[in-house]
Structure 1
Amino acid sequence: MALDRWISLILLGVCLVYGYTAWFTMDAGLAPFMKRNPIWPSTFPKLLSVLGIIASTIILLGIEKGSPKEADIDYRRLGEYHLGQALGLLALMIAYALCLRPLGFLISTSAFLILGSYILGERKWLVMLPVSLGASGVVWYLVQEVLGIYMRPLPGIFGG
């Protein structure tokens, strides 16, 4: 079996466990007044699990491929697949998760977007800076003001 199908099989297992958790265990602790709401806290995880199961099954069955050998990932040639960029992005994601609280949302998200685009090959600073700063600001505004979820925008030393 090809590498993409093995990864799909692992993701299918993860989505099944995630779906079981979303469908059967998340809603047990809801307050009685929330059980009458049309959208529960488990609605998005339920949707994600169903979409993940569908996507993993499509890849596992090979429905998305045109010709059988054209799109297979050859695990013997992993060095040709920009493995450094993938590992760099994984390390950057971990650093982002660790820096989110101490640095605040705006600084850590902007830095993540700038460094992530640099790792992927973007070298136009006049494009990277406004896009990352603007995207971080818009997402923070939507989460903070529209949804009403508090997110520390800046580090505590700057009054965030």
Structure 2
Amino acid sequence: MALDRWVAFVILSAALAYGYAAFFTMDGSLPPFMQRNPIWPSTFPKVLAVLTIATSLVILLGLEKSPESDQEPDIDYRRLGDYHLGQALTLLGLMVAYALLLRPAGFLFATFAFLSCGSFTLGERKFHILLPVAAIASFVVWYLVDEVLGIFLRPWPFFF
């Protein structure tokens, strides 16, 4: 089986577990006043799980490929060292660090640091563009989530 189908199988497995949690375990502890709402906190996870399962099945069953196309896959798993594996692993590490630093460092600093370091890892070297864009993007996302949607995000580190 090709690498894309193996990846689709792994994503399908994760999406099935996520879908099970979204459909059967998330709504059990809702207060009674929220049970009458048309949109629950689990609505988006349910939609995301269904779309992910459908997309994974399309790739796993090979429905996205045309029948006359019998060319080799784009990614050769025997030559993974030829790809930018260091950048990918660094980005995964940055994502984990972002998740761990989000509460103690505050949303603005953690998001700014993640966007800046991630862009640097991917090869952006124009710091006069990178830093203002990361700062503006962090602030705009915080403002939309905190002020417009009313979901509290701690903007500053815990000691402020």
What TM-score bracket applies, with the shorter chain setting the length? over 0.9
How many Å apart are 1:150 and its aligned residue? Answer: 1.5
Look up the match of 2:140: 138
- 1:70-114 superposed Cα distances (whole Å, 9 cap, x missing partner): 434211100112111100100111111111112111011001001
Select which of 140, 147, 151 maps to 1:149: 151
Q: Counterparts of 1:124-135 in structure 2 under 5 Å?
A: 124-135=126-137
Greater share of helix: 1
The answer as to whether partners of 1:12 and 1:52 remain within 8 angstroms in 2 is: yes
- Structure 2 counterpart of 1:95, one-letter code: A
How many Å apart are 1:142 and its aligned residue? Answer: 1.1
SS in 2 for 1:87: helix
**TM-score, length of structure 1 as denominator length:** 0.92
Aligned-partner Cα distance in 2 for 1:73–1:55 = 19
Aligned-partner Cα distance in 1 for 2:62–2:134 = 36
How many Å apart are 1:56 and its aligned residue? Answer: 0.8
* Alignment RMSD: 1.4
Aligned-partner Cα distance in 2 for 1:139–1:146 = 10
The answer as to whether partners of 1:11 and 1:56 remain within 8 angstroms in 2 is: yes
Q: Counterparts of 1:1-160 in structure 2 under 5 Å?
A: 1-65=1-65, 67-157=69-159, 159=160
- Structure 1's unaligned 5+ residue stretches are none
After superposition, the Cα gap between the structure-2 partners of 1:121 and 1:64, relative to the gap in structure 1 and judged at 3 Å, is farther
SS in 1 for 2:27: helix
- 1:47-82 superposed Cα distances (whole Å, 9 cap, x missing partner): 110111011112112233453334342111001121
**TM-score, length of structure 2 as denominator length:** 0.92
After superposition, the Cα gap between the structure-2 partners of 1:32 and 1:44, relative to the gap in structure 1 and judged at 3 Å, is same
Sequence identity, in percent?
65
Aligned-partner Cα distance in 1 for 2:64–2:121 = 29
The answer as to whether partners of 1:2 and 1:72 remain within 8 angstroms in 2 is: no
SS in 2 for 1:38: coil
- Structure 1 counterpart of 2:149, one-letter code: L
How many Å apart are 1:8 and its aligned residue? Answer: 0.7
- Structure 2's unaligned 5+ residue stretches are none
Aligned-partner Cα distance in 2 for 1:57–1:112 = 32
Aligned-partner Cα distance in 1 for 2:55–2:126 = 34
- Structure 1 counterpart of 2:91, one-letter code: L
Q: How many residues end up aligned between the 2 structures?
A: 158
